[in-house]
Amino acid sequence: MTRPLILSFLLAYSTLLIAQTSPNNYYNVQTSNSKDRTFAQAISIGINYQTVASTIEELDFSQTTFDAQIDKFGFSFYAPFGFFVSGYKNKQDKLPAYFYDENILSGAKEILVKNGLTFEDVHTPEINENLFGLSGGLYIAPFFKNQTLKYVHLMGGVSYLKGMIWDSYSGDLNPILNYSYYATNQYAINKNYYDSYGAIGGLALVFPFVQIEGVYNANTEEIYLNLGVNLPFEYIINKSNSTL
């Protein structure tokens, strides 16, 4: 359930917070007093990778994957008022000429078996997509002048999906389902059509050079765990000042 996500956030926050207690030891630059932080000093440019995407009921951190799909990456402009863009998907698998129902496939196989006809049962399912998707929204860092809570960024936005996802099975149920008529031996079933918007909400902990985000997407009803790296303007500014 959500307990592993909460525990992971607490562990990440406590570990990274300890690591930031003496930033001079790590970065060899002077950080500004939090009360004197400017908007520019609170900016970080980040890239995120979605390590976990799962419904609440099926949340399992052991299923973490690392594959270079573009929709798993996101761009973040962290600031007291920032923004993010993520979840870009534009996959254009060819739409099948015909969609079958599972009951039709089962009925065709029964007829073939009863009549002693040779056929190739459906096998090797593949997930196909003809789908466009994009997510975006805003960050708010209400405590960017607070020494302890300046890492906290609240997230809110919108997710959009439009298109179709379906399963394709190879096989040959001829002559009951003559695939040559449809010019394919792929049987497409389990069609799911999307044309929907949904809210996004979450929390990001943005430390110098690294960040972690926990996000809930109401459009897909999934929880995301994003990890990433960032370039903090505060250290660039202070580094420049130290060389003057």
pLDDT digits (tens, 9 = 90+) for 114-171: 888 777 777 778 888 999 999 999 999 999 999 899 999 999 999 999 999 988 888 7
For the full predicted model, state whether its pTM sits above 0.75: no
Token pair 């973040």 in the structure block, residue: 76
**φ/ψ (deg, to 5) at 18:** -60, -40
Task: Evaluate whether 186 touches 168 at the Cβ level (below 8 Å).
Answer: yes
Query: 3-class SS at 238?
Result: helix
CA distances (Å), origin 1, targets 51, 57, 188: 17, 6, 33
Residue 28 confidence (pLDDT) above 70: no
Output the pLDDT for position 122: 77
In the chain, which ranges are continuous DSSP H helix?
Answer: 3-19, 24-27, 102-114, 233-243
